[in-house]
Structure 1
Amino acid sequence: MRYHTHIATSIAAGAGVAITGDASFTFPYVVGIAIGALLPDIDEPNSYIGRRSLGLAKVIKSIFGHRGITHSILASGLIFYLHTMYNNDFTLGIAYGYAFHILGDFFSKRGVPFFSPLSKKKFKPPLTYETGGGAETLIFYLAVIGSFYMLYKYQLYTQLF
């Protein structure tokens, strides 16, 4: 999934969490979601975040490979644990964005190694999309439309500032 689709789908999912759960759709929460949605790709030097990582992405990729440990339940769990240590809307957004990124990549043709580093086996459902393909473009636009719908239908915009 491309970076803008990760951000759009994660914000839409984060809006859904805010509507149905205890999260507040605040500006720090949304910024955290956007950052968290990019973080798992720190293992790819050519990714949006990897190109801005000052060489860190190359180091991580050389040790773990792309879609290795950064795309696992363990990594997501560690991010949620950090949220418990620094409990605020921003860190909650990062944790949700990170988890939503992994979920988005789960539906891609390449899948994700949920149990890395214990296993390199990648999991994916029967119905998948091709990164950069027409289905991903459709997912992006549906996420944007869904986000705007929830912003106005549930007046989430009133919590932003």
Structure 2
Amino acid sequence: MNYSTHVATSLAAGTYLTTVTNVPFSVACLGGIVIGSLLPDIDEPNSFVGRRTFGLSKLIKKTFGHRGLTHSLLFWLLFSLLYYKFQNDFTLGLSLGYVFHIIGDFFSRQGVPLFFPFTKKKFRAPLTYKTGTVQERALLVVALVAFVYIVYRYKLFVTVF
């Protein structure tokens, strides 16, 4: 999934979550979701976040491969300890964005190694898309429309400003 689709789908999912749970619709939480939705791809030097890591991305990819450790549920749980240690809207958003990224890649044809390092087997949903195709662009548009609809429908913009 391209970075823009990760951001859009994560924002749509996170915004919906604010309407059915106690997750706050705040600039800090939304900012965390955006950043968190990009972080798992730190294992790909050519990714949006990978190009900004000053070589760290190359080291991670060499050690764990793309869609290895950083796309596992174990790493997400360890990463989410940030929220346990620093309970605020931003770290909550980071954790949510991170898991939304993994879920998004779960629906890709490549799948994700959910239980890495215990197994390198990649899991994927029965219904998948191929990265960079019309299917993914359609998903991007649907996510953006859903985000705007949810914000408008629940008048969430009032809570931010």
TM-score for the superposition, normalised by structure 1: 0.98
The question of whether the paired residues in 2 share the 8 Å contact of 1:24 and 1:159 is answered with no
For 2:135, the equivalent position in structure 1 comes to 135
The number of residues matched between the two structures is 161
For 2:157, the equivalent position in structure 1 comes to 157
**Aligned mates of 2:126, 2:152 — CA distance in 1:** 34
Structure 1 residue 159 displacement after superposition: 2.0
Percent identity, please. 51
The root-mean-square deviation of aligned C-alpha atoms, in Å, is 0.7
Structure 1 residue 75 displacement after superposition: 1.1
Structure 1 residue 158 displacement after superposition: 1.6
Structure 1 unmatched ranges of 5 or more: none
The secondary structure found in structure 2 opposite 1:138 is helix
For 1:39, the equivalent position in structure 2 comes to 39
Structure 2 unmatched ranges of 5 or more: none
Cα offsets for 1:107-131 (capped at 9, x unmatched): 0000000000111000012210000
Cα offsets for 1:99-155 (capped at 9, x unmatched): 000000000000000000111000012210000111111110000000000111101
TM-score for the superposition, normalised by structure 2: 0.98
Runs of 4+ in 1 over 6 A off after TM superposition: none
**Aligned mates of 1:19, 1:78 — CA distance in 2:** 27
- 2:10 maps to 1:10: yes
**Aligned mates of 1:14, 1:79 — CA distance in 2:** 18
Structure 1 residue 79 displacement after superposition: 2.0
